[in-house]
Structure 1
Amino acid sequence: MWTRNSAFLLAIAFTTATPSARGLPVDDRVPGGIAVIPIGDMTRPEVYLEQQRVLVVGSPGRWHAVAGIGLDVTPGEISLQVGKPGAARRIPLKVLPRDYPTQHIQIQDQRKVEPLPGDLQRIELETARMAAVKAHWTELEDPALDLRQPVAGEISGNFGLRRIYNGQPRQPHGGMDIVAPKGTTVTAAAAGRVALVGDFFFNGITVIIDHGQQLVTMYCHLDRVQVKPGEALVAGTPIGAVGQTGRATGPHLHWGAYLNGAAVNPALLLGATSR
Structure 2
Amino acid sequence: MSSPFRKGARPHGVAAAVLALALSLLPALAGALELPRARSVPGGVALIDLGPALVAPQASVDGVPVLVSGRPGGWTAVVGIPLEAAPGERVIEVQREEGPAARVSFAVAPVRYAEQRLQVAPGKVDLSAQDLARHERERMRSAEVIATWSAAAPETLRMRPPVPGRRSGSFGLRRVFNDQPRKPHGGMDIAAPTGTPVVAPAAGRVIDTGDYFFNGHTVWLDHGNGLLSMYCHLSRIDVKAGELVATGTRIGAVGATGRVTGPHLHWSVMLNRTLVDPALFLADGGR
| TM-score, normalising length: structure 2 | 0.84
Maintained 8 Å contact 2:154/2:227: no
The 5 Å alignment of 1:114-133 reads 114-133=126-145
Q: CA deviation at 1:164?
A: 2.0
Q: CA deviation at 1:181?
A: 0.5
The 5 Å alignment of 1:102-117 reads 102-105=115-118, 111-117=123-129
Structure number with higher relative contact order (C-alpha < 8 Å, ≥ 6 residues apart): 1
Q: CA deviation at 1:240?
A: 0.5
In structure 1, the partner of 2:111 is 98
- Identical-pair percentage: 50
The 5 Å alignment of 1:12-31 reads 19-20=31-32, 22-31=33-42
The yes-or-no answer on 1:198 pairing with 2:210 is yes
Q: Structure 2 unaligned segments of length 5 or more: list them.
A: 1-28
Instruction: Kindly provide the amino acid, as one letter, of the partner of residue 95 in structure 1.
Output: V
- Please provide the CA RMSD for this pair: 1.9
| TM-score, normalising length: structure 1 | 0.88
The 5 Å alignment of 1:68-217 reads 68-83=80-95, 87-105=100-118, 111-217=123-229
Where 1:202 maps in the other structure, the secondary structure is coil
Alignment deviations for residues 216-273 of structure 1 (CA, whole Å, 9 cap, x no partner): 0000011110000000000110011100011111100000000000000000011359
* Aligned residue among 243, 246, 254 for 2:258: 246
Q: CA deviation at 1:61?
A: 2.8
Instruction: Kindly provide the amino acid, as one letter, of the partner of residue 45 in structure 2.
Output: I
Alignment deviations for residues 173-232 of structure 1 (CA, whole Å, 9 cap, x no partner): 000000001110000110000010010011111000000101000000111100000000
* Change in 2 beyond 3 A, CA 1:232/1:18: farther
Compare 179-188 and 164-173 and name the one that shifted more.
Answer: 164-173
Maintained 8 Å contact 2:30/2:71: no
Where 1:123 maps in the other structure, the secondary structure is helix
Maintained 8 Å contact 1:101/1:161: yes
Answer with 1 or 2: which has the greater Rg: 2
Hey, what's the Cα distance between the residues in 2 that align with 1:134 and 1:73? Answer: 18
Maintained 8 Å contact 1:58/1:142: no
* Change in 2 beyond 3 A, CA 1:163/1:186: same
Q: CA deviation at 1:141?
A: 3.1
* Aligned residue among 33, 40, 57 for 2:44: 33
Instruction: Kindly provide the amino acid, as one letter, of the partner of residue 283 in structure 2.
Output: G
Q: CA deviation at 1:118?
A: 1.6
